[in-house]
Amino acid sequence: MDKSPEVLLELVERLGNLLRAEFRRAGADEQLQPVHVHALVYLTRANRYSNTPQAMAEYLGLTKGTMSQSLLLLDRRGLIERYQDDLDRRVVRLRLSTSGEQFLYDAQPQSAWQHATRNISPNRIRNAVSALRETLTTFQSDNDGQPFGTCNGCRHFERLSARAYRCGLMGDRLSGPEARKICWLYEEKGGGVEEDEE
Amino acid sequence: MDKSPEVLLELVERLGNLLRAEFRRAGADEQLQPVHVHALVYLTRANRYSNTPQAMAEYLGLTKGTMSQSLLLLDRRGLIERYQDDLDRRVVRLRLSTSGEQFLYDAQPQSAWQHATRNISPNRIRNAVSALRETLTTFQSDNDGQPFGTCNGCRHFERLSARAYRCGLMGDRLSGPEARKICWLYEEKGGGVEEDEE
DNA sequence: AAAAAATAGTTTCGAGTCGATACTTTGCAA
DNA sequence: TTGCAAAGTATCGACTCGAAACTATTTTTT
């Protein structure tokens, strides 16, 4: 009987807690809750399709009502800016304000973690990443949640030339940096579960 | 420049969120918050030195005041029992009640996760476990938090015979199952780092 | 084109989290 | 004995969070 999956669960749980505590510490000066810090971090990593309240709520596992509250607070504190989408006027777009960027720069909510992996060889880290990534994918398809991946590996990702990319779903051209950001339209490429188009 | 540590951070963060959402779902029927479910799960895994409010607060990253509130709620709902320690009457001991055990049995807060690792080879899981465990240890010693490990690997662990163990710090004999539970007196045993196979 | 349904987001409500602070009881050491 | 540290509890206020009702747009149906 192998207990490894349980142990892995426990480690992820435990590290998740510590990360949360770290976010709490990082936000303490500004009176921010962990979820607020997490929201700001998310904004630095979300691509142009994913900088909306809804995508953020999915990502953080909250309802849209709850999300709305947190965004209200971040807006009041001047850490984010909200503006309307040109094409669909129901949609609100989000971005970090200058002081939001400054806050993340000062608080460095992720540095303690980065530091904690310093003794582990890149190869072991890559192995761990691959195992966890697969777990995440399985977990998400089991619970049919939004996927949230980056472009490489996405079914809609098209390479036009050496440096030019394109999202086949939205039809937009993408810059290299943008192709590395988080997208909530992500869909697993090949071999996966068929989508029912009805 | 290798981005793997960042990616690992993001995966742990993301899986931690999903786990939290899973705990939320598991507790929804009984109107329990994620932290309550987590507390109950902790109790099933804590050894005899670690079933106190203080250890639990350390584990969950809360203050003792906050912990006291949650325990009050769990007690009111009849999911845990609190009793006094014989030797030190300031200390409160905690255990799951029968309905607490029943709740965990019914809600299965961890089964979705267990299921999500089904396609990953035991060997890859073990490698991931080893990398995360090391990250956890480094993180904890960086932030001088309580360690929380299990007996094997602990500096105080002594093997009396094939099936008999002893904690050198507390001087108690330990059963095999108990030696596999979580202990907040855990201290790292000096030792080498193993490289991945494969 | 008008009506209906769906979608993005906001508001309101109530129970609960959470840290800070002050407090009680118990243990321990000078 | 006196003082102080430790384990836990109680209280307060700002905030989280889901649920449900609501507004404003867009899309679909008729």
Summarize pLDDT for A149-196 with one digit per residue, the tens.
888 778 888 888 888 888 888 888 888 888 888 888 888 775 433 332
Q: Determine, for residues B128 and A132 on separate chains, whether the beta-carbon distance falls below 8 Å.
A: yes
User: Using only C-alpha atoms, what is the Rg of chain A?
Assistant: 18
Q: For residues B145-166, give the mean pLDDT.
A: 83
pLDDT of amino acid A2:
63
pLDDT of amino acid B196:
47
Q: In Å, what is the CA distance from A40 to each residue of A60, A67, A97, B155?
A: 11, 12, 10, 41
| DSSP annotation of A194 | P
- Say which of A16, A113, A124 has its CB closest to residue B19: A16
A15, A63, A148: which to substitute to probe chain B, counting the most B Cβ within 10 Å? A15
pLDDT of amino acid A196:
29
pLDDT of amino acid B192:
41
- Say which of B4, B13, B129 has its CB closest to residue A129: B4
* H-only helix segments in chain B: 4-28, 34-45, 53-60, 64-76, 98-107, 111-116, 122-142
Beta-bridge partner residues of A84: A92
Distance CA B198, CA B195 (A): 10
Distance CA A82, CA A149 (A): 24
Residue A84: other Cβ atoms inside 10 A: 11
Which residue lies nearest C15, CA-to-C1' measured? B31
State, as a whole number of angstroms, the distance between the CA of B66 and the C1' of C12.
27
In this predicted model, what pLDDT tens digit does every residue of A66-93 receive, in sequence order? 999 999 999 999 999 999 998 899 999 9
Whether B152 has a pLDDT exceeding 90, the answer reads: no
Phi/psi at A121 (nearest 5 deg)?
-65, 145
Footprint of strand D on the protein (CB under 7 A): A 31, 33, 35-36, 61-66, 69-70, 73, 87-90; B 24, 28, 52-54, 64-65, 68-69, 71-72, 82, 88, 90-92
Confidence of residue A36 (pLDDT cuts 50, 70, 90): very high
Q: At what angle do helices B4-28 and A4-28 cross, to 10 degrees?
A: 100
Computed over every residue of chain B, the mean pLDDT equals 85
Write out residues 122-161 of A within 8 Å (CB-CB) of B: 122-136, 138-140, 142-143, 145, 148
Q: Determine, for residues A120 and B136 on separate chains, whether the beta-carbon distance falls below 8 Å.
A: no
Residue type at position A108: Q
Q: For residues B129-155, give the mean pLDDT.
A: 81
- Say which of B15, B45, B118 has its CB closest to residue A132: B15
Residue A56: other Cβ atoms inside 10 A: 22
More confident residue, B198 or B49: B49
Whether B59 has a pLDDT exceeding 50, the answer reads: yes
Distance CA A99, CA A56 (A): 20
Q: How far is A126 from chain B (nearest CA, A)?
A: 6
Q: For residues B93-108, give the mean pLDDT.
A: 91
pLDDT of amino acid A144:
60
pLDDT of amino acid B79:
93
Whether B194 has a pLDDT exceeding 60, the answer reads: no
pLDDT of amino acid B190:
62
What pTM value is reported for the model? 0.84
Q: For residues B66-86, give the mean pLDDT.
A: 92
Phi/psi at B92 (nearest 5 deg)?
-105, 135
| Residue B167 half-sphere exposure toward CB, CA atoms < 13 A | 22
Token pair, residue B87, equals 């030797």
- The 3-state DSSP composition of chain A as helix, strand, coil percent (nearest 5) reads 50, 10, 40
